[in-house]
Amino acid sequence: MSADDASPGPTTLWHGRLAGAPADALAALNDSLPFDQRMFAEDIAASRAHVSMLAAVGLLSDDECDGILAALEEVRSEIADGRMVWAPTDEDIHTAVERRATELCAAAAKMHTGRSRNDQVATDLRLWTRTAIDELTGLLLGLAGTLAGRAHEAHAAGVRLPGYTHLQQAQPVGLAHHLAAHAWALLRDVERLGDARRRTDVSPLGAGALAGSTLPLDPAAVAADLGFAAVFENSLDAVSDRDFVADTLYALAMSGIHLSRLGEEMILWASAEFGFVRLDDAFATGSSMMPQKKNPDVAELARGKAGRLIGHLTGLLATLKGLPLAYNKDLQEDKEPLFDAVDTVRAVAVAFDGLMQTVEFDADAMAAGADDPFAAATDLAEWLVAHGTAFREAHEIVAGLVRQALDAPDAGSRRSRLAELVAAHPDLGPEAAALLTPGSAHLSRNTPGAGGPDAVAAQLERLDVALTSARSLQDGR
């Protein structure tokens, strides 16, 4: 069907310029209503602020303003209650709200005065993003709090595990230290979201299509009405800036990466090979074929979904990179990745919080690795250093003993062999061999920020302070 065959008469808000109705294929590509209707509350809030400002500067009478505000409230409740009857010509949430408001109140034909969908959509999306950031910040702080709580528990119980480098057992650390490491990462995500929020919190309304207006608009009043911390400086920048979306997607991708890394550990730790954790049945799945299986799907999905979060960030950056000023329809591609990223991080953070609240740690399985005498090899070298040997020489002495001990036929005799060799060595002896007794290597590493119990106790206090101040910053918003 060509555009000329389409039925005549008003179709869209911009029909005046074009002779026929839009082709179905254009509408299918162009319409954003299916996904941008979730910004309806923000669109109506922004319209309320705009209409109030138009009245304040004399572009609407008080009666017109009251009538439009009442119509907007009716549209809001129709959409919220699912009573809104969408029209085929509603190409996006902005046109839908204006169309319906005008049906309810003729004066609403004036509500787009001095405004373009270009500044309108940027405003709506900033309002939506600000709220989403606040919600996700709360969820990530909740998960960080859960990790801190489990860390306190593990600390009180003296639980230790082998720390790893290259996924090879390296040096023992408190389980509290390990859990707190993930909590600090989440706190950085919260800070990143806070940075993104600050750049989101700027009102673009009043920029018009690209160049402002000939009418006496008051962008600062609109910004204040909507609770924005600042107002745009440049109308071209205001309608084309999507840095706040990229900032948010980066913060969410980073958070997804942190959740993925924690997920990867829970997957490994739940395996028979590690046996460090038992997942609660409520946060594990079974196999449709293998009756014995218990699978860590929550952790696997946390790991898998990091991929789509990274994709959303890189996708948006690619969309933005070639755009000339000012608004281009390409910018409509900002919403779906953002919405999906927010939904994804929400779902993962909530499920992961449940997993971490309920997971059981196997202190004995962890201690078996943590107390392996080979994990105390560095302690032997440092003992030699404390008694006057140069570190390089000390490293070589201990490495030689480790190599000899590893010649023993089985794991048990390798461990006792190392203790015997240390006790018999002229530079080491029984005092050094005592460093190999179970639990000792974990206890003695207490430099600032270290994994030993005294250092971890101090760290956990600082973690609690950081969590409290992040929460109060959040509550103050």
Task: Give catalytic residues, as residue numbers.
Answer: 166, 287
CB of 329 to ligand ARG, least distance (A): 6
CB nearer to ligand ARG: give 331 or 398. 331
Residue 188 tokens, joined: 């950085």
CB nearer to ligand ARG: give 36 or 64. 36
**Contact with ligand ARG (CB under 6 A): which of 37, 169, 332, 404?**
332
**Contact with ligand ARG (CB under 6 A): which of 118, 171, 344, 459?**
118
d(CA 388, CA 270): 43
CA–CA distance from 6 to each of 1, 64, 126, 451, 467 (Å)?
7, 35, 37, 73, 61
Among the residue ranges 200-208, 329-337, 406-414, 439-447, the one whose residues contact ligand ARG (CB under 6 A): 329-337
What angle separates helix 297-321 from helix 243-269, to the nearest 10 degrees? 160
CB of 87 to ligand ARG, least distance (A): 16
φ, ψ dihedrals at 365, nearest 5°: -65, -40
**Contact with ligand ARG (CB under 6 A): which of 99, 100, 112, 117?**
117
Residues 178-197 that bind ligand ARG (CB under 6 A): none
d(CA 471, CA 474): 5
d(CA 113, CA 51): 9
Nearest CA-CA partner of 298 in 320, 318, 315, 281:
281
Show the site string, 308-327: x = touches ligand ARG by CB under 6 A, - = not. Answer: -------------------x
Residue 124 identity: D
Among the residue ranges 114-122, 144-152, 297-305, 346-354, the one whose residues contact ligand ARG (CB under 6 A): 114-122
d(CA 365, CA 241): 53
What is the full DSSP assignment across 162-230? EEEETTEEEEEEEHHHHHHHHHHHHHHHHHHHHHHHHHH-EE-TT-TTTT--SS---HHHHHHHTT-SE
Total site size for ligand ARG, rule CB under 6 A? 10
CB of 9 to ligand ARG, least distance (A): 21
Show the site string, 333-372: x = touches ligand ARG by CB under 6 A, - = not. Answer: ----------------------------------------
**Contact with ligand ARG (CB under 6 A): which of 107, 190, 331, 460?**
331
User: Is residue 92 at the binding interface for ligand ARG, with CB under 6 A as the rule?
Assistant: yes
**Contact with ligand ARG (CB under 6 A): which of 11, 12, 32, 260?**
32
Helices (H), 203-296: 219-225, 235-240, 243-269
CB nearer to ligand ARG: give 118 or 129. 118
Residue 362 burial class via C-beta count within 10 angstroms: exposed 0-12, middle 13-18, buried 19 and up: middle
CB nearer to ligand ARG: give 146 or 240. 240
Binding site for ligand ARG (CB under 6 A): 32, 36, 92, 117-118, 121, 327, 329, 331-332
